[in-house]
Structure 1
Amino acid sequence: MTTLDLTPPDTAPRATRRDWAGLAVLMLPVLLISIDTTVLSFALPQITQALSPSAAQQLWLIDAYPLVLATLLVTMGTVGDRIGRRRILLIGATGFAVVSALAAFAPTAELLIAARVGLGVFGATLMPATLSLLRTMFLDRTQRRLAIAIWATGFSVGSALGPVVGGILLEHFHWGSVFLVAVPVLLPLLLLGPFLVRESRDPAPGRIDLGGIALSMVALGGLAWSLKHVAVEGPDVLALAALVAAAAAGTGFVRRMRRSADPMLDVRLFAVPAFSGALAVNLLSIVALTGFLFFVTQHLQLVEGMPALDAALVLVPGVVAMVASGLLVVRVVRHVRPALAVVGGLGFSVAAYALLSLGGTATVPLIALAFALLGLGIGAAETISNDQILTAVPPAKAGAASAVSETAYEFGAVLGTTLLGGLLTSVYRSSLTLPAGTDPEAAVAARETLGGAAAAAERTGDPALLEAARSAFDAGVGVTSTAGAVLVALAALIAWVTLRDAER
């Protein structure tokens, strides 16, 4: 048995115009949260020059937000099931807008990281609510799959639009503008949400399991922190201790959920191949997307020397491909199995990474083509994986299931920059050969990051230093692209094994 969907598709009520209008409103936080996951990729060079973060702080600037999101999503999804999904959505939107305004004017890297943490807290209230509300708004299977396709496409496209939005804003405004954009985006949600989105909650909520919440936070937070620490500092006792604590908390959480009469998360769902396989596909797809954006945005600006807006426009074909793929796959799965649709799509994404790995120098046209191919695969994979995850649970538990889906997404965002970004940094540093006579202070900055090398070369007027850094960075892109191709191929294999029997 591959699904626990209890709603007969031929008798379920169809969505009304109000529901479709509500979907449009719910897309606003979806786009914003996903844009915030990647928008800093383009702003990072300007932030580096303005706030002078270290290499570790640069990674934390990007990862603090999705890391906190990943830690709190299951908790917030469960709370939303109990107190009301629309209510927690509006609370989160208000907090997110306020903290975004504070982040825009952060005077130091440390305070900006702290603001990113705050955004993660409020972002965790938004995402499970949007997807779980869709589960209760669209009961007809065909309509729900289309709604989820729009949602998933918006999420993936938002991640890809992050650099585009960042490029447009940074062309004309201060780097803080990439955070201020949250205020006008969320205002329509706060004004229209109470009228267009119906409130929903678990009709028979149990007590809030504070012990389960604490265990889930330690398990998810400890795992994410240990991976992050290893990527930045290498393996050590602290990383091992965090990993052990995460494993112990995770084990305790599973045991507690199995014993509970009303668990915040039914862990038996992970025994359903379509559910667990879809989660893995979701995670690995986002690793591929965010990892790609991490190094491509830097290559376009710091290696090719393109202005932020011009570099962002290179990614537009990929955004269009992602939208088209996410929507088209809804029609495709009427005729073929979900596994075949996902595997076929991810084949394009493998080709995208292979182009950069085997194609020699990463030229601008090659990058545009690669991102378009990547988008074709990610758009299809995200739509099908999220549909399978939600189909596997009854509507009353949609918030918890949505939270699990979003946790996979955010861990994918963390791993994309942590694993692929860490690998790129490692190869960059090992490949960097500094020109003779390089200023010692400039040498230290160049060994940290490509952005540091660019700033040092501009300060000292040393073009040879910048050329050496660019060459080392491209060496890292080749190795990282190979790793990305392997990860996407693994996602395709998992989809083929676990989704072969899933319903169309």
Structure 2
Amino acid sequence: MTRAGNREWTGLAVLTLPALLASMDLSVLFMAAPWLAADLVPTGPQLLWIMDVYGFLMAGLLLTMGALGDRIGRRRLLLLGAAAFGAVSVLAAYAPTAELLVLARALLGVAGATLAPSTLALLRGMFADAAQRRVAIGVWTAAFTGGFAVGPVVGGLLLERFWWGAIFLINVPVMALLLLIGPALLPESRDARPAGFDPVSALLSIAAVLPVIYGVKELVHAGAAAGPLLAIAVGVAVAVVFVRRQARMADPLVDVTLFRSSEFSAAFGTYVVMVVASAGLGFLVVQYLQVVLGLRPFTAALWQLPAVAGTMLGIGLTTALARSVRPAVVAGTGLLVAAAGFLLLTGVGVDTAPVAVMACYTVVTIGTGMVTPLAIDLIVGTAPAHRAGSVAGLGEAGAEFGGALGIAVLGSIAAAVYAGWARDALPAGLPRGAAEAATETLGGAVAVADGLPGPLGTAVRDAAESAFTAGFAAAAASASALLALAAVVVTVRLRRL
């Protein structure tokens, strides 16, 4: 088996650039929202679309773009996507109106959907040796996960010196570098006998993914309202039609028969379940740092950097262990480490220091860092080479769905415990409207507390913070149990590897 040389490893460094930027653009706007809101004066719905439309469209198009890369060439799709990503970034940076910025973010989502599946599929072809491929995917994973974590930090640093558009302009030189050196370092790869592209399947995949992602995300904000539930139902119904169509086709957009493989299905399921747990608690950790501990957004973002280091450590451990330890053992161990970290987080209280909270959360990221590259490698590596792009897109679409589901499910657990706890802990004598607002969300309770006189406001805030930490602990315990169960399942299902 041919081992990768200097050209392939240099090409890997090039491929980390689009992975880093694609994930960073999911979070970089967190810090810039107040500045662009003051400049462009968007309506409430427009601001939400500016924040969310990138992730929505990227998630919805991952399957389609992965399959398209298999047919027209993964390097070609990557370079086309990079050119579009850079050009639209300029449009976003200088958008004079909120409507144009929404459009630019939507186009960035379309371009961003080409990057992850193309880069992963190219890695599959560049690193034929399994051990080298695990290292390469570990490096790619570090870039992709690190990009999301450092996005708010990068955004905050740029906003200290420049206007909000600068957070988009950083994409331009990086994509220009990729376009300049990518053709020389990255080998083209595609399906040797590509079938025609099926637009009906592509539309069905988009119509299945987008409503589900939208509905699950909206459940976090609107609760069990009719709109989000209807969107999820429509998405699931379309997904059934999509899967049946793929099962009948000789050359489908997504090969659903891959799930008959215990190795593939176990790796895919592990990846999704792990994202469910880590995204759900990550969402709550951010709220805890900013609202309970009162940290400014940029300070809270800085406190999350140790968790990024934990991810890097976990990836390094997996790379070292995978040479001599079976994948089932490595994956099971990583899941148990993450479960232990979540269990530690159940002890977080109102007065817990940030360093203690993030130490516990870093244990979680060490565990997830051990599992992520291994799961991605098994997903991409066990699938046929001619389907590398579509399988990579499937894996990343699963991660997007897992993230939305984790925030919804674990957020709902935390919210239910919060409401019950707050109802019992709030001081007597509050006006009915104030009491209802305070029992719905921690943010609502803080707003109520700020409008009340000193001692009463303090009592409301103390009760709400105690209720939030109780909900946080319940969600952390649920995540811990979920990953402990996943550790058992994956160890059994992957025992033959």
TM-score tier, shorter chain, comes to: 0.7 to 0.9
- Which residue number in structure 1 is paired with residue 491 of structure 2? 496
CA contact (8 A) 1:88 1:125 kept: yes
CA contact (8 A) 1:95 1:122 kept: yes
The one-letter code matched in structure 1 to 2:375 is: S
1:405 aligns with 2:400: no
- Which residue number in structure 1 is paired with residue 83 of structure 2? 94
- Which residue number in structure 2 is paired with residue 328 of structure 1? 317
CA contact (8 A) 1:171 1:309 kept: no
Write the distance in 1 (CA, Å) between the matches of 2:33 and 2:340. 28
The one-letter code matched in structure 2 to 1:305 is: G
Going from structure 1 to structure 2, the CA distance change for 1:121 and 1:248 (only over 3 Å counts) comes to: same
CA contact (8 A) 2:345 2:361 kept: no
CA contact (8 A) 1:171 1:308 kept: no
What is the aligned-residue identity percentage? 42
Going from structure 1 to structure 2, the CA distance change for 1:219 and 1:128 (only over 3 Å counts) comes to: same
How far residue 102 of structure 1 moved from its aligned partner, in angstroms, is 4.6
Give RMSD over aligned pairs.
Answer: 3.6
The one-letter code matched in structure 1 to 2:122 is: L
Per-residue CA deviation, residues 203-239 of structure 1 (Å, 9 max, x unaligned), is 1111111121122222222322332343333335544
How far residue 309 of structure 1 moved from its aligned partner, in angstroms, is 4.1
What SS does structure 2 have at the residue aligned with 1:324? helix
What SS does structure 1 have at the residue aligned with 2:113? helix
1:153-302 mapped onto 2 (5 Å cutoff): 153-170=142-159, 177-302=166-291
1:385 aligns with 2:375: yes
How far residue 134 of structure 1 moved from its aligned partner, in angstroms, is 0.6
- Which residue number in structure 2 is paired with residue 134 of structure 1? 123
- Which residue number in structure 2 is paired with residue 477 of structure 1? 472
Q: TM-score, normalised by structure 1?
A: 0.84
The one-letter code matched in structure 1 to 2:406 is: G
- Which residue number in structure 2 is paired with residue 419 of structure 1? 409
CA contact (8 A) 1:93 1:190 kept: yes
Per-residue CA deviation, residues 269-288 of structure 1 (Å, 9 max, x unaligned), is 01111111111111122223
Is 283-292 or 159-168 further displaced after alignment?
159-168
How far residue 427 of structure 1 moved from its aligned partner, in angstroms, is 5.2
1:342 aligns with 2:331: yes
Per-residue CA deviation, residues 131-176 of structure 1 (Å, 9 max, x unaligned), is 0011111112222121112112222222333344344445555555
CA contact (8 A) 1:41 1:294 kept: no
CA contact (8 A) 2:332 2:491 kept: yes
Per-residue CA deviation, residues 290-317 of structure 1 (Å, 9 max, x unaligned), is 3233222233233323344433332222
Work out the number of aligned pairs and report it: 489
Q: TM-score, normalised by structure 2?
A: 0.85
Is 484-493 or 143-152 further displaced after alignment?
484-493
How far residue 378 of structure 1 moved from its aligned partner, in angstroms, is 1.0
Write the distance in 1 (CA, Å) between the matches of 2:357 and 2:496. 36
What SS does structure 2 have at the residue aligned with 1:358? coil
Per-residue CA deviation, residues 352-405 of structure 1 (Å, 9 max, x unaligned), is 222222343342122221221011111111111011111212222110111111
The one-letter code matched in structure 2 to 1:256 is: R
The one-letter code matched in structure 1 to 2:201 is: G
1:371 aligns with 2:361: yes
Is 328-337 or 129-138 further displaced after alignment?
328-337
Write the distance in 1 (CA, Å) between the matches of 2:449 and 2:203. 48
How far residue 28 of structure 1 moved from its aligned partner, in angstroms, is 0.7
Per-residue CA deviation, residues 73-123 of structure 1 (Å, 9 max, x unaligned), is 111111111112112112222333344445456788877665544332221
Going from structure 1 to structure 2, the CA distance change for 1:170 and 1:415 (only over 3 Å counts) comes to: farther
Write the distance in 2 (CA, Å) between the matches of 1:461 and 1:102. 48
1:76-91 mapped onto 2 (5 Å cutoff): 76-91=65-80
- Which residue number in structure 2 is paired with residue 3 of structure 1? none
Write the distance in 1 (CA, Å) between the matches of 2:171 and 2:322. 35
- Which residue number in structure 2 is paired with residue 7 of structure 1? none
CA contact (8 A) 1:153 1:327 kept: no
Write the distance in 2 (CA, Å) between the matches of 1:283 and 1:382. 10
Q: Which runs of 5+ in 1 are unaligned?
A: 1-11
CA contact (8 A) 1:30 1:127 kept: yes
Write the distance in 2 (CA, Å) between the matches of 1:438 and 1:44. 33
1:145 aligns with 2:134: yes
Write the distance in 2 (CA, Å) between the matches of 1:428 and 1:46. 32
How far residue 266 of structure 1 moved from its aligned partner, in angstroms, is 1.6
What SS does structure 1 have at the residue aligned with 2:193? coil
Per-residue CA deviation, residues 390-427 of structure 1 (Å, 9 max, x unaligned), is 12122221101111111112112222333334544565
